[in-house]
Structure 1
Amino acid sequence: MSDRYDTAARREAVLAAWRSSPTRFREDANAEEDLVLGGYADRLIVELAQNASDAAVRAGIAGELRLTLVDRVLSAANTGAALDAEGVDGLTSLRASGKRDEQSSTGRFGIGFAATLAVSDEPEIRSTTGGIRFSLADTDKAVRELGGAAAAELDRRDGRAPVLRLAWPAPGAPMDGYATEVRLPLRDDAALAAVRAALDSVPASLLLALPTLSTVDVNGRVLRRTEVDEQTVALADGEKTRHWRYVTTAGDLPVELLADRPVEERIRQAWRVTAAVPLTEAGEPAALDAAQVLYAPTPTDERISLPVRLIGTFPTSPDRRRVPDSAVTRFLAEQAAEAVADLIAGCSEHPAVLRLLPGPDLPLSTVDSLVRAAVDAQLRTAVWLPDTHGQWLPPSRALVVDDPLVEIAADVLDGILPAGWWTSATAPALRALGVRRLGLAEVVEAFAGADGEPSWWHDFYDAIDIALRHDPSTEIGEVAAIRVPLVDGRTVTGAREVLLPVDDLPAEAVAALGLRIAHPDAAHPLLARLGAREASPASVLADDRVRAEVEQSYELDDPAPVAEAVLALVAATGIGPGELPWLADLALPDAEGDWRPAGELLLPGAPLAWLIGADVPFGTADRQLVEDYGADVLAAVGTLATFAVVDQPDLDLSDVDDLALDGASDWADEVADALDGEPVQLTRFAAVRDLELIRPDAWPQALRLLAAPPARDALMASCTGELMDGRIVPVTPYLRWWFAHRPVLAGRCPAELRLPSAAELVGLYDPVPELRPSGGPPSLFDVDDSVGGVLDDELLAALGCRTGLLDVLEDTASATDLLRRLGDPDRSVHAAVLPLLYARLAEALAGVDVPPPDHVRVAPDVVVPAEQAVVLDQPWRLAEFPGRHPILGGADPETVAELLDIPLASEL
């Protein structure tokens, strides 16, 4: 260097200028003081690394830097271009630099080396081309030798002369293997501590700003930069390596922007900006702390709120802390924003990229405000957001929905961002970009025209349900207009009138009933929360609409779909015959191919068919129908194998005639008369249909059928009525009334017969005869030929057979019949019973207009004309009436005399 650069001549020229112009000395001292202000040790390390990077650029190689601290001397050795005369001129000319044309240079106008003065008064540079040194002591001595105003100014500054203006030759070569070495003897212990701390904290990210510097050895700790691809770099710190995604843009500043800048800046127009962010092990962007500083390229005091590392050749103040608001700054802010936007777009395959977006907080500096505004503007129009189909779109076309809805919404809507993109943390940034979020109501509306399989709709409901539970503040009413696919192929809006099939509901068959049955594959608990009702086979049968379909089925052009639906429901419920009487109106095909109500059909081979003969209003059910559904199902809808039963609770007496039962209106009239015409509500009404159709000769077989459930249960049922005042009164059951006077027991009416146990009626009533069938289907008589074997006393009593005197006296008709029987000479009376009979009859028939008998019984086996009898009210006078037979009058002989129209003994 001494051969090519005359340091002595340079010193003499500077000293001459200071001697002739003390003001020049003051200006140089002020300039160096401005450069050194705030020259912290960490800034020094960055400046040394920056010089090493620039040397590598000039040499066109991947640079290396070695930083060591030995014997209170900081050494910075680098590869690359050696120090030349132009470089020395840059170092000794304050605010000047030899770095003019290098596009990739990061140094700014030769002022960075002044940072060495923050820790050292004797900086030295050794290079393969020679060396120079600077010295505060030698500069002080030289200035004092000048004397005059320069020396006085030095005293005023406490000896702080502009050290870097005077250079001396330096012996020695750089560290082996390196082109240049900067050696800094540290000023004091404070400088030593500051440098040691700075070396310990040198981050690997330092290499982001120095792309041509591949390695930095810091006291044996090696930092290494390795390019992975065009936008990814691996930064190693010893054994630890972290990948960074980065975007770098560069170019030349427009000349018009530099019009008001210093000459040195106008000469060097190249600019460079880098935006970078670290990556997680999964390759996702890991945002830095929200508050960063701008690197220009050394760290400035300009805070930025973008959580990225932003590095650029921004113009700075002399202390390199602040960035002035200038045309160049604004231009570079636009370029920085473009780099940040490109960086974000390059990471947008991960929703974590949203952490990099500008937040809602206020800008932290002028530069931050400029960059954020530009980033926001560029991201609004850039095509960088991914949708679920792998397409890219600008925010204005992007839609977000809650994560549970993403997959299903993407089947219908374009522009849906993937799951994980919409969170409470990312929502403000996405809203600021103009991304539209669809609420549940909007999602449901968007699906109004969707056409998917029922299972797809089930997935949709599942997603909606999860979204509702995820956000409890959302009202379920927002999704009330949800679409529901039905089993019949229709799709309806809203779930309120929809039935959800459960318990093996034959949904496809039931569709013919016109009900809104949700398709089983779409059924979901959400629909129940929206008003849909669970539909079991039993609940569907209980629906009034089904009943209406059944009642009008006979009038349909094609009753088959309704018949199949109802039969499937009945098969699923397992209901028994007569449980739903209205099912008898269901139109079913008969053996001739015609349609009849189920209640007018007989099962093929049914016992009832033989009992009623051929000339009856019944058809025979189609055999194929029986094979398809079974006899039990057809019987449940009213098709007859045996007697049909009616069993209804809470029936108004006036409605009995609507049941189409033989003589039901006459029975109701008798009940009403017995209760003086007062309105009666029957608490239970049981009956057996079609009794009037039984052939007279078939009653033995018919009785056997009646002895088995459910007919027997109807026969045994009691009957009571509730009057208007709430009183419950007994009512003669319809079946007892009907059978009592029908010759069904070997040609005899049950009311004319007594049970074997009714001893007090012996002689007055005949016993129940032995009943034997005269033929019929063998299936009716699979035990023996005796009907009596199944007609027990309980059942006979239900048919109207007499069980005792109280039974006979229970109603007016039977009591009147008993009065007639007492006068029948062909009958007899038990001796123990006769003394009670007339008194009991008089009591039972009191107030009833009954014709007096022609003959009366005066002894168990003796009947005389009425005019030959007397009612004995005074027994001692019996001898006074020769020729008259006494009748005991009991406690009320006058009532007995009135009933029989026979005089009292006392009257005679």
Structure 2
Amino acid sequence: MTHDPFGTGALRRAVTEAWLASPTRFREDANSEEDHARGWYRDRVVVELAQNAADAAARAGVPGRLMLTLEPRGFAGDDGYGSDDPGGSDAGWWLVAANTGAALDAGGVASLASLRASAKSGSAGSGSGSDSGSGSGAGSEPVSGSHGVVGRFGVGFAAVRSVSDEILVRSRDGGVRFSLAATREALGLAPGLGHGADGNETGPLHRDRSDVGPVSAQPTDLAASGGAGGEAAGRLVGEAERRGGALPVLRLPFPASGTTPEEPDTVVELRLRDDAAVAAVRAQLAAVDDGLLLALPALDELVIEDDYAGQPGSDLGDAVPHATPRVLRDVATRWRVHRSSGALEPDGSLPSEARRPDWSVLWALPVPGRSAAGGFAAAGLAAAGPTSNAPTWTASTLHAPTPTDVRLTFPALLIASFPVDPGRRGVLPGPTSDRVAAEAGRAYAAFLGELAAGSPDGDTLTGGLPTSDPTAGATGDPGPAPSGTAAPDLLGLVPAGLPAGEVDAAIRASAAQALRDTPLLRPSEADAPVAPRDAAFVAGPLGEEPELARALAPGAPRSLVTVPVRYQALVRSLGADAVDLADLVEALPPEPDAVHAALDALAPHAGEPTVLEAVAGMPLPLADGRVTRGARGTVLLDTPWLAGIARALGVRVVHPDVVHPVLERVGAVPTTPRGLLADAGVRSAALGAAEDVLDDGDAEHLAAVLSARPSSAPDDGGPDGGPGPEAGPGPDDGPAATVSAVLELVRLAVAASGPGDLPFWLGELPVVADGAVAPLRETALPGTWAARHLDLAPVHDGVVERWGGDTLEAAGAHAGLCVYRVSDVVTPDGDDDADYGPDDPAGWLADWDEYLDLLADELGAGAWVGDVAAVLDLDALTDVAGTEPEQSRLAAGLARVAADPDLRRALLTPVRSPDAPDRQAVSYTAWFLRRRLGAPFALGDVPLLPPAPPETAGLDADLLVALGGLHNLADLPGRDWPTVLEGLPDAESGSAGRVRADVARAVWAGLAALARADGPGIAPPRLPALGPAGITVERTDDLAVAASPRWAQLGPVVPAPADVAGALADLLDLPLEGGSDVGPDEPGEPAELDPRVRAVVPGAPATWRRHTTLTVEGRGVAWWVTTVEGEGAVAHAVSPEGLARALAELTGADALLLEAVLRDPGRAEALDAERAWG
């Protein structure tokens, strides 16, 4: 007989008597066990065994250790099993739980067999909740030690029935077993009624059966009971038979042997019912991790051994062990934990077993990189991706302290003392739950505050945290948080979205309220975190930039933090202020360092419109101490000492410490000395000062200001010995100081990049010259070519010494002749006078408007010409003044033009317009000098033209032609013809003057060339003409143009070739002679033309008309040519000479040859042959 130290026989007897007395009680017990085993506790075997182990360790006040082993027994090759099993073979899979702690006692056995009454008592410690019933190591004494017990209802042990029909609990003082087969025997049922769910008969309950005696149901066999008892027994047996295998096994304990000295304090062994049970247990073992140890703080170590993990559950075959035991310990090193607890008012609405005098809350998060192997499902946290050292959770389950079915949206493990229902899956509503939920929310906020502040050893939680944000990456790791900012992981720990239920909503509401005042966000300008209600952030993607937040913090109404876009709505809901970038920028203190830091931080985003808009309203410190809003209209100088000069000129110069490329994007102009000279404000200030100085005329004061040396030494910062920061003009120097400041800019510009492209208006700056105030443009530098040859006053020696010749020449003073360009020239198309400003060289070019009229005549009115190069101050060469005669100055000027490539090019290059591509005009320089030289002039023997002026001596042919020299009258421009023809003799009162034939022919040829070139019309007062009296000079109005010499017999005409006669008549506005209806007054007598003459002149007519007297329109002529219908061209003549002239016009043959042949036809052949010589 097995020793029965726990009185199991008495327990069985009491239970069976109760069943006999009331079969309903039997049914209630059976239903209750089935509900617990297959309903509420169906998946909690491992958790309940661990909980019982923790309770045993807590009672004993020792470190709790539990080993869970899933192993096969009794299969092939496993000797010693199944030989004396009264219930059948013991082969199968077994789950063994071995733990340290308080031993099993009679009270614990009674609790295990009671289903409702737990032997455990006392209040829960931190992490306690409402969970399991009594089990291994259960005792009847109150809890001692630092960890409270967990189970209270005494029903949790029923979970073992979800997977097993044979349960053995062994301890130091003995053991107890629960068996479906033994229960069936005790009830006197047929063997078939005791089979498990799979139909297999249950087997032995422990390894060593030698000390286990026969099972005895009770002293009196139920089946043999007679009388009323017999009837009761019959009813009980009937009810049991009706239920089949669903019997209340845990109500009938049987004695078993205890543990050996080598074994742990308590061992629980479960023979698993079938393959499904094996799979369920294996899954529960795989799900165990640190969460279970956190829920059961009395449990220090948990070892899981599943040698055949992943292999078939009931048929091992040739399988061999391969797995390494999994050990969980030192949970405190891998988890950050926050615990809170406090007193609780009694809640009369709760069952007495659920009432507690206090509450407790534990929140836990894994430390990044320190997580134990395995998933976190046992902690109620569902992994969003593959298991890793830093898993991501999207939902969690409330632990009270073991897992319930209450879903949470917090990404942390919550173990709280919520009152739960007997199934430990749901929370009981009421004041206690409300209080615990509120405290849990406040505790969570405090937990996040601790994480934000960092651990005592200085460690901070900045990466690898789980997150409640479903938009996070696959691993949920947002990476390390930027230094000095709120870690995005912490924000990810704040639940977002819809709550999972009432409990979750209550905890979240409390947490959200508490988080408003929790120092959670770390501002950029301080080490200590701040609460959301005291924080502000930049709305939008820029709110993620730590450098930007640090730079804009001085303008923020609250502590400025960086917040990722995905968390900005959350942070705002917690009370943080979302501020616009423009508002922060506008609120920046106008300190150079603060503004420059903001520009540096904004620079990477300078292409974004919102950034540009914000910078456009930024407070900008100026170099003179003022502050302006916005960069438009300001200039950027990266050289501090230029600021003083700029201030004197009224320029808004950005403080040198604020200069930044971003300002250029919003209107600030980066500049240099040359750039300042191009600034409209500088121009306005300079020209205004120039006008004031010129009006004042105080040469002595101006000389003193312009001759004064700067107060700073050359090494004070200015390049090339220029002024440093304090070198600007004094405040009392007035307009003269402004002139001095501009000259300093000119000096610096010339030193940096030469004199090119400086504004033309600089020539308006006044200086002292010859004791008077004069614009630079009207002065010459002493000792230069200009001072010797131009009619210009020399600049004061002190001014030249102070500024140097290069500076003054670049500003407008003359050292020689120079070329300027007049931009965008358009020929005039009306009478409006042009108004030239100080920027336009045209205002300084003598007779420029007249030259524009010339361009309009040559190129057309309104024609766009573009830029025109011109040599300036030519009038100073030609005006009578100075130290040498005009001719000498002009000759020197022409020689300088010839020697200087730029001057020469300005003279020789004609002016063209795209509007008249087939036309061109002479350059301004050539036009101006032609007028001074009296052009046109003859280059050789050209009739009517004067010889070349002596000033042109030594010039090359190209220059002479450009200056108006001609080799013949055919090259004479149309505009010069009236002047040239002025040289003809007068034709007064009908008495014609005479010219040489060569002069007349030159004139006629030149006019024909002009007409052929479609030159402009001219109206000379007189012209050489050919008429009955020979070559004479006639009044132009009395002439006509003739294409044939026969018209000269009727009166003076201007001869012209037939192809240009009409154009010449239009050019001179004269009639054209040559109508075909003009003929002899008499027809004349027909006469044969000698054939010998016709042989010499092919094409000659066969006949001609002989006249004794030939008249046309009443005037006598020697010959004529007409066209007669039916005859063609007809020659009329009174003599051989006249006939020869008429035939020459008809055939184009030589008139003299024809006359010779007509006079002596016999010599026709010889004369014709002589034409071989031409």
Give TM class, smaller chain: 0.7 to 0.9
> Residue 46 of structure 1: CA displacement?
0.7
Letter in 1 for 2:167: P
Distance 1:332 1:562 in 2: 80
| Residue in 1 that maps onto 2:336 | 245
> Residue 287 of structure 1: CA displacement?
6.4
List per-residue Cα deviations over 1:282-310 (Å, max 9, x = no partner). Answer: 99995643232222233222222222222
Letter in 1 for 2:354: E
| Residue in 1 that maps onto 2:742 | 562
Is residue 2:444 matched to residue 1:353?
A: no
1:34 touches 1:318 (CA, 8 Å); kept in 2? no
Is residue 2:584 matched to residue 1:584?
A: no
Q: Secondary structure at the match of 1:218?
A: strand
| Residue in 2 that maps onto 1:623 | 800
List per-residue Cα deviations over 1:714-737 (Å, max 9, x = no partner). Answer: 444657899xx9999987876566
Distance 1:655 1:328, change over 3 A: same
List per-residue Cα deviations over 1:440-464 (Å, max 9, x = no partner). Answer: 3334333375643664353143144
Q: Secondary structure at the match of 1:815?
A: helix
Distance 1:546 1:432, change over 3 A: same
Is residue 2:397 matched to residue 1:293?
A: yes
Is residue 2:510 matched to residue 1:374?
A: yes
> Residue 64 of structure 1: CA displacement?
0.7
List per-residue Cα deviations over 1:110-139 (Å, max 9, x = no partner). Answer: 322121222233322221233233334444
Is residue 2:154 matched to residue 1:110?
A: yes
Q: With structure 1 as the length reference, what TM-score do the two structures score?
A: 0.75
Distance 1:678 1:33 in 2: 115
| Residue in 1 that maps onto 2:711 | none
Distance 2:770 2:389 in 1: 79
Is residue 2:586 matched to residue 1:423?
A: no
Is residue 2:942 matched to residue 1:760?
A: yes
| Residue in 2 that maps onto 1:276 | 364
> Residue 707 of structure 1: CA displacement?
3.2
Is residue 2:335 matched to residue 1:335?
A: no
> Residue 39 of structure 1: CA displacement?
5.7
| Residue in 2 that maps onto 1:599 | 777
Distance 1:82 1:716 in 2: 124
Q: Secondary structure at the match of 2:942?
A: helix
> Residue 581 of structure 1: CA displacement?
3.4
Distance 1:15 1:625, change over 3 A: same
List per-residue Cα deviations over 1:561-599 (Å, max 9, x = no partner). Answer: 23333554566665548x75322113457798x975321
Distance 2:1007 2:24 in 1: 157
Q: Secondary structure at the match of 1:641?
A: coil
List per-residue Cα deviations over 1:799-858 (Å, max 9, x = no partner). Answer: 556654454985367426634799xxxxxx9988445468789999985568x9xxx9xx
> Residue 193 of structure 1: CA displacement?
3.7
**Percent identity for Structure 1 against Structure 2:** 34
Q: Secondary structure at the match of 2:164?
A: coil
> Residue 203 of structure 1: CA displacement?
2.9
Letter in 2 for 1:357: V
Distance 1:741 1:597, change over 3 A: closer
Q: Secondary structure at the match of 1:68?
A: strand
Distance 1:108 1:222, change over 3 A: farther
List per-residue Cα deviations over 1:635-661 (Å, max 9, x = no partner). Answer: 232111013555423375865897676
| Residue in 2 that maps onto 1:222 | 326
> Residue 142 of structure 1: CA displacement?
4.6
Distance 2:662 2:852 in 1: 55
CA RMSD of aligned residues (A): 5.0
2:943 touches 2:1002 (CA, 8 Å); kept in 1? no
List per-residue Cα deviations over 1:689-729 (Å, max 9, x = no partner). Answer: 1222454345244443343444444444657899xx99999
List per-residue Cα deviations over 1:203-249 (Å, max 9, x = no partner). Answer: 3432121222121121252322215xxxxx24xxxxxxxx3222233
Structure 1 stretch displaced more, 90-99 or 474-483: 474-483
Letter in 2 for 1:260: S
Match of 2:410 among 295, 300, 306: 306
List per-residue Cα deviations over 1:49-99 (Å, max 9, x = no partner). Answer: 111111111222221111123423322111122223433343233322232
| Residue in 2 that maps onto 1:196 | 282
Matches within 5 A, 1:373-772: 373-388=509-524, 389-401=526-538, 402=542, 403-404=544-545, 405-410=548-553, 412-413=555-556, 419=562, 421-424=563-566, 426-447=567-588, 449=590, 451-452=592-593, 455-465=596-606, 468=608, 477=613, 480-484=616-620, 490-498=626-634, 513-515=649-651, 527=663, 530=666, 544-554=680-690, 555=692, 556-559=735-738, 560-569=740-749, 574=754, 576=756, 580-587=759-766, 596-612=774-790, 616=793, 619=796, 622-627=799-804, 631=806, 633-645=807-819, 647-648=821-822, 649-650=825-826, 655=833, 664=847, 684=868, 686-689=870-873, 690-691=876-877, 692=879, 693-697=881-885, 698-699=888-889, 700-709=891-900, 710-716=902-908, 718=910, 739=929, 750-751=933-934, 754=937, 757-760=939-942, 765-766=946-947, 768-769=949-950
Letter in 2 for 1:214: D
| Residue in 1 that maps onto 2:1103 | none
| Residue in 1 that maps onto 2:211 | none
Is residue 2:354 matched to residue 1:265?
A: yes
Is residue 2:296 matched to residue 1:131?
A: no
Unaligned runs of 5+ in 2: 74-92, 123-142, 189-221, 223-228, 306-323, 372-387, 453-460, 462-486, 693-734, 837-841, 988-993, 1011-1016, 1033-1044, 1055-1114, 1118-1174
Higher Rg of the two aligned structures: 2
Distance 2:448 2:974 in 1: 105
Distance 2:248 2:390 in 1: 45
1:591 touches 1:622 (CA, 8 Å); kept in 2? no
Is residue 2:98 matched to residue 1:81?
A: no
List per-residue Cα deviations over 1:162-182 (Å, max 9, x = no partner). Answer: 333343332231572521112
Q: Secondary structure at the match of 2:815?
A: coil
> Residue 530 of structure 1: CA displacement?
4.2
Distance 1:799 1:295 in 2: 110
Match of 2:268 among 179, 182, 185: 182
Letter in 1 for 2:777: G
Letter in 2 for 1:751: G
| Residue in 1 that maps onto 2:956 | 792
Distance 1:358 1:308, change over 3 A: same
Q: Secondary structure at the match of 1:696?
A: coil
| Residue in 2 that maps onto 1:60 | 61
Structure 1 stretch displaced more, 55-64 or 21-30: 21-30
1:37 touches 1:319 (CA, 8 Å); kept in 2? no
Letter in 2 for 1:565: L
2:7 touches 2:106 (CA, 8 Å); kept in 1? no
Unaligned runs of 5+ in 1: 228-232, 235-242, 743-749, 772-786, 823-828, 857-869, 878-889, 897-904
> Residue 796 of structure 1: CA displacement?
4.0
Letter in 2 for 1:111: V
1:510 touches 1:566 (CA, 8 Å); kept in 2? no
1:123 touches 1:183 (CA, 8 Å); kept in 2? yes
1:753 touches 1:768 (CA, 8 Å); kept in 2? no
| Residue in 2 that maps onto 1:900 | none
Distance 2:261 2:1028 in 1: 160
